[in-house]
């Protein structure tokens, strides 16, 4: 499988919105959508006031659909969207791919639709999925071991080289995705960490503002525990796999440079 790294939304502090476009033998798969056309055209409706907090630049050329077209692909060939979570900067392009099956972890889907806390009411934007996506809600049960992560399951309709890796913490149902490209594994860990220094097994170090941001995790204990697990994964198996995340611009730059 071929993997394209896309920045689907530049934000404050130079942060990116790192999404993946995966070519399987028969179709295209997106990991997250970033900001979509609706976010560019109707930011108040699709993002609300939080667009100012995010510092979103909202360029049409950065939307996933326009980048897919620029690569010479038909956006209708995106048959599956894998969401790390439903925060507004990760699901803003769902409506650009109305025929795609949208995979989301069960605890995340329920949190986004029930919005039990003030923080969750702020981060989720129902207009982004008002078009009625073809949801495929996955739960934790079942699966197989993947480098010590035991709550992993194959995704219905997708090849076994693509696995869901639940990484709760940032949100209740936050999920990473592991992809075997044939040249090694790539784990997109979403917002399980903000900057690579958070999971550096030798010298963990992040700026103060990153530490403050990470305090906003919905389930802090799980967030810290999964960061520790990711650090151990990198220490023990860094030669066998790559770990990327959603917002670190340096991680994104290294990814497109490979």
Q: For residue 134, give the CATH number of its domain.
A: 3.60.15.10
Radius of gyration of the chain, Cα coordinates, nearest whole angstrom: 17
Q: Taking the CA of residue 13 as centre, how many other CA atoms within 13 Å lie in the half-sphere pointing to its CB?
A: 14
Domain count of the fold of the chain: 1
pLDDT tens, the chain, 258 aa long: 899 999 999 999 999 999 999 999 999 999 999 999 999 999 999 999 888 888 999 999 999 999 999 999 999 999 999 999 999 999 999 999 999 999 999 999 999 988 667 777 788 999 999 999 999 999 876 667 889 887 677 788 999 999 999 999 999 999 999 999 988 999 999 999 999 999 999 988 888 888 888 888 999 999 999 999 999 999 999 999 999 999 999 999 999 976
What confidence score (pLDDT) does residue 116 get? 64
Question: Can you give the pTM of this predicted structure?
Answer: 0.95
User: Rounded CA gap, 229 and 140, in Å?
Assistant: 18
194 and 210 in contact (C-beta within 8 Å)?
yes
Q: Taking the CA of residue 209 as centre, how many other CA atoms within 13 Å lie in the half-sphere pointing to its CB?
A: 3
Q: Which two tokens stand for residue 204?
A: 């963990």
Give me the domain span that covers residue 117. Answer: 2-257
User: How deeply is 24 buried, as exposed, middle or buried, from its count of CB atoms within 10 A (0-12, 13-18, 19+)?
Assistant: middle
């Amino acid at each position: 499988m071929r993997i394209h790294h896309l920045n689907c939304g530049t934000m404050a502090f130079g942060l990116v919105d790192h999404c993946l476009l995966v070519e399987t033998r028969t179709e295209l798969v997106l990991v997250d959508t970033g900001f979509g056309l609706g976010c560019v055209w109707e930011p108040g409706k699709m993002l609300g006031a939080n667009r100012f907090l995010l510092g979103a630049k909202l360029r049409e050329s950065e939307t996933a659909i326009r980048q897919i077209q620029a690569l010479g692909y038909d956006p209708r060939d995106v048959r599956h969207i894998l969401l790390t979570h439903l925060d507004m900067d990760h699901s803003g392009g769902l409506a650009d791919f109305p025929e795609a099956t949208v995979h989301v972890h069960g605890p995340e889907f329920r949190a986004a639709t029930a919005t039990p806390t003030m923080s969750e009411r702020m981060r989720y934007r129902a207009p982004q999925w008002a078009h009625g996506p073809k949801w495929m809600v996955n739960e934790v049960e079942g699966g197989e071991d993947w480098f010590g992560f035991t709550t992993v399951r194959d995704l219905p309709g997708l090849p076994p080289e693509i696995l869901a890796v639940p990484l709760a913490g940032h949100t209740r149902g936050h999920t990473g995705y592991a992809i075997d490209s044939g040249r090694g594994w790539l784990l997109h860990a979403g917002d399980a960490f903000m900057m690579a220094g958070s999971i550096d097994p030798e010298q963990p170090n992040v700026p103060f503002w990153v530490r403050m941001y990470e305090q906003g995790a919905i389930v802090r204990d799980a967030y810290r525990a999964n960061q520790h697990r990711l650090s151990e994964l990198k220490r023990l198996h860094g030669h066998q796999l790559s770990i990327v995340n959603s917002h670190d611009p340096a991680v994104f730059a290294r990814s497109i440079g490979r």
